[in-house]
């Protein structure tokens, strides 16, 4: 008599439920679509010619390059946050971290890892040792 089965009812239910959220996505700046399967929101950015917004991950061992990148992506209105790990000689800046009231995506980052020079490694080897004046003079 009828061609309706449980799969058909599930499809109708998914379409109806996804229709309830159409107003939620219409005001978004990034083009999005609702997918009925599980009523998930999917970004359409990957189908566009350009990205909706910039994302970056810069990694370097050069302080100059790190500073140049950091100055280029931080501004007076959107300040960067820099997290420094002195023990491992690394720093990581996050440029679109936002604030507690208006959090950002935090997906534009720069990292610098400094190389240990030979004199610095030698200094680390004697760190914490008690040396006599003669030993220090020989080390220098």
Task: Convert the pLDDT of each residue in 41-70 to its tens digit.
Answer: 667 677 677 777 788 899 999 999 999 998
* 92 and 43 fall within a common domain: no
Q: Is the pLDDT of residue 1 over 60?
A: no
Number of domains in the chain: 2
Residue 41 lies in a domain: yes
pLDDT at position 62: 94
Residue 140 lies in a domain: no
* 78 and 109 fall within a common domain: yes
pLDDT at position 111: 95
Domain that holds residue 88: 56-115
Kindly report the pTM of this predicted structure: 0.59
* 80 and 98 fall within a common domain: yes
* 12 and 40 fall within a common domain: yes
What does the pLDDT look like over 92-131, one tens digit per residue?
A: 999 988 888 888 888 889 999 998 888 888 887 787 778 7
Give the Cα separation of 140 and 15 in Å (integer). Answer: 77
* 76 and 108 fall within a common domain: yes
DSSP-assigned letter for residue 47: G
How far does Cα 26 stand from its chain's mean position?
26
């Amino acid at each position: 008599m009828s061609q309706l089965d449980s799969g058909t009812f599930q499809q109708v239910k998914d379409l109806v439920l996804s229709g309830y959220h159409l107003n939620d996505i219409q005001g978004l700046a990034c083009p999005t679509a609702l997918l009925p399967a599980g009523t998930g929101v999917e970004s359409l950015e990957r189908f566009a010619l350009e990205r909706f917004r910039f994302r970056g991950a810069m990694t370097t061992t050069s302080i100059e390059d790190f500073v140049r990148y950091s100055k280029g992506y931080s501004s007076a209105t959107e300040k960067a946050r820099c997290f420094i790990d002195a023990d491992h000689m690394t720093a990581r800046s996050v440029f679109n971290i936002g604030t507690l009231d208006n959090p950002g995506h935090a997906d534009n980052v720069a990292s610098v890892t400094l190389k240990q020079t030979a004199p610095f490694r030698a200094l680390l080897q004697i760190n914490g040792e008690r040396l006599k004046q003669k030993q220090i003079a020989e080390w220098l």
